[in-house]
Structure 1
Amino acid sequence: MTNEELQSLTEEISVRLFQKPFKHIAFFNPRLRTTGGRYMLSSHNIEINRHYYDQHGFDELAGIIKHELCHYHLHIEGKGYKHGDKDFKILMHKVGAPRHCSPLKEGKKRNTSLKSYFYKCLSCGQGYRRQRRVNTKRYVCGKCSGKLEEVLKIAE
Structure 2
Amino acid sequence: MDLINEKELYELVNKISVTYFQKPFIDDVRFNHRLRTTGGRYIPVKRLIELNPKYAMEMGQNEFIGIIKHELCHYHLHIEGKGYRHRDKDFRELLKRTGSPRFCSPLPSEEKNYKHVYRCKKCDQVYERKRRINIQKYRCGKCKGALKYVSID
Task: Answer yes or no: same fold by TM over 0.5.
Answer: yes
Tell me which of 72, 76, 82 is aligned to 2:75: 72
Give the superposition deviation at 1:23: 0.7
Tell me which of 91, 96, 100 is aligned to 2:94: 91
**Separation in structure 1 between the aligned mates of residue 5 and residue 115 of structure 2, nearest angstrom:** 33
2:57 is the alignment partner of 1:54: yes
State the structure with more CA Rg. Answer: 1
AA aligned to 1:68 is: E
Equivalenced residue count is 115
**Separation in structure 2 between the aligned mates of residue 61 and residue 5 of structure 1, nearest angstrom:** 14
Corresponding residue number in structure 1 for 2:27: 24
**Could you list the runs of 5+ residues in structure 1 that have no partner in the other structure?**
113-130, 132-155
Give the superposition deviation at 1:12: 0.6
What fraction of aligned residue pairs are identical, expressed as a percent? 53
Alignment of 1:23-42 (within 5 A): 23-42=26-45
Corresponding residue number in structure 2 for 1:6: 9
AA aligned to 1:87 is: D
**Could you list the runs of 5+ residues in structure 2 that have no partner in the other structure?**
117-131, 133-151
Corresponding residue number in structure 1 for 2:105: 102
Which moved further from structure 2: 99-108 or 6-15?
99-108
2:15 is the alignment partner of 1:15: no
> What CA deviation, in whole Å up to 9, does each residue of 1:14-34 have, x standing for no partner?
111111111111111111111
> What CA deviation, in whole Å up to 9, does each residue of 1:100-121 have, x standing for no partner?
1111111185678xxxxxxxxx
> What CA deviation, in whole Å up to 9, does each residue of 1:95-146 have, x standing for no partner?
000011111111185678xxxxxxxxxxxxxxxxxx8xxxxxxxxxxxxxxx
RMSD: 1.8
> What CA deviation, in whole Å up to 9, does each residue of 1:2-49 have, x standing for no partner?
221111000011111111111111111111111000001111110000
